[in-house]
Amino acid sequence: MKPSFRSLRCRCGTLCSIAAYALTMLGLAWAVLHGAESMGYNWQWYRIPRFIILPDGSPGPLLQGAGITLLVSGLGLAGAAVLALGTALLRLSGSVVGQALARGYLELIRNTPLLVQIFFIYFVLAPAVGLGRMPSAVLALALFEGAYASEIIRAGILGIPRGQWEGAFSLGMSRGSIYRQVILPQALRNVLPPLTSQGVSLIKDSALVSTIAIYDLTMHGQAIIAETFLSFEIWFVVAAIYLVFTLTLSSLARLLEKRSSSHLEDSCTG
């Protein structure tokens, strides 16, 4: 009886959360529509489809921009993951130089705005080393998000009980093997939710790369608005596309978390 009651309560909680989210979205939509109508705005949704898919079936400017956003975000996520793991390991290493470099990188990135970093990399660093717009944008996003993700990973590593280190050392495992086979799998599983939040932040922050003339989703939206004056309609569509991206990433992370948890339970019971 207890498992059934607990399951029912969990389902009720989920349904209540969905209902609250739906009501919030409906209230926000009503507020926007009411505000636009009070300004005398003329809605023209019938003009929107051609900016998504062209009459010949090829992607419209908004879908083209969404592809660039996905590319920049994906490369930025990959770079941020590498930088985050490397920085976290440097912070936990016994190297004074490594710890100093990691600390300097963290303090510099976390205490300056992302927009300033994008401008610095594109206008100052890129000409010196021959980077284009796209590599500059990816580098800026990777450096910015990697700094925050590294502290999340470091906290996850520090949260692993010391006894697991001692047990692994007693089995004759090297430090590198302990990290790969014992510590990192558990730490990454524990910090997956906050890392997912950082990934979502990176996707949203990628809108700033439009400031260096990268025609991502935001830049295409601005160009269409300047041409058609369909401000509300275009920004609604742009926001919806970003929402699809972030919800997809969150869903994939939850699926991965469930699979890793079920795998851990199976290994424990086995």
pLDDT in tens, 188-243: 888 988 999 999 999 999 999 999 999 999 999 999 999 998 988 999 999 999 99
What total number of domains does the chain contain? 2
Domain assignment present for 67: yes
Residue 7 belongs to what domain range? 1-39
CATH code: domain of residue 245: 1.10.3720.10
List, in order, residues 6 or more apart from 165 with CB less than 8 Å away.
178, 182, 183
Residue 23 confidence (pLDDT): 82
The answer, yes or no, to whether residue 8 has pLDDT greater than 90, is: no
Q: What is the mean pLDDT of the chain?
A: 87
Higher pLDDT, 32 or 98: 98
Higher pLDDT, 113 or 264: 113
Q: Which two tokens stand for residue 201?
A: 């932040």
Highest averaged pLDDT of the listed ranges 34-38, 120-124, 185-189, 257-261:
120-124
Question: Model confidence at 4, in pLDDT bands (50, 70, 90)?
Answer: low
Domain assignment present for 225: yes
CA distance 48 to 32: 18
What type of residue is 251? S
Residue 64 and residue 35 share a domain: no
Question: Model confidence at 174, in pLDDT bands (50, 70, 90)?
Answer: confident
Average pLDDT over residues 92-97: 90
Question: Model confidence at 117, in pLDDT bands (50, 70, 90)?
Answer: very high
Residue 224 and residue 101 share a domain: yes
Q: Among the listed ranges 45-54, 91-100, 165-174, 252-261, which one has the minimum average pLDDT value?
A: 252-261
Domain assignment present for 113: yes
The answer, yes or no, to whether residue 249 has pLDDT greater than 70, is: yes
Domain assignment present for 47: no
pLDDT per position as a tens digit, 129-169: 999 999 999 999 999 999 999 999 999 999 998 888 888 88
pTM, rounded to two decimals? 0.84
The answer, yes or no, to whether residue 15 has pLDDT greater than 90, is: no
Q: Are 188 and 153 in contact (CB under 8 A)?
A: yes
Average pLDDT over residues 82-93: 94
Q: Which two tokens stand for residue 248?
A: 């997809």
Q: How many C-alpha atoms does 177 have within 13 Å on its Cβ side?
A: 8
Residue 76 and residue 193 share a domain: yes
Residue 27 and residue 156 share a domain: no
Residue 251 and residue 130 share a domain: yes
Residue 110 and residue 64 share a domain: yes
Higher pLDDT, 244 or 262: 244
Residue 218 and residue 187 share a domain: yes
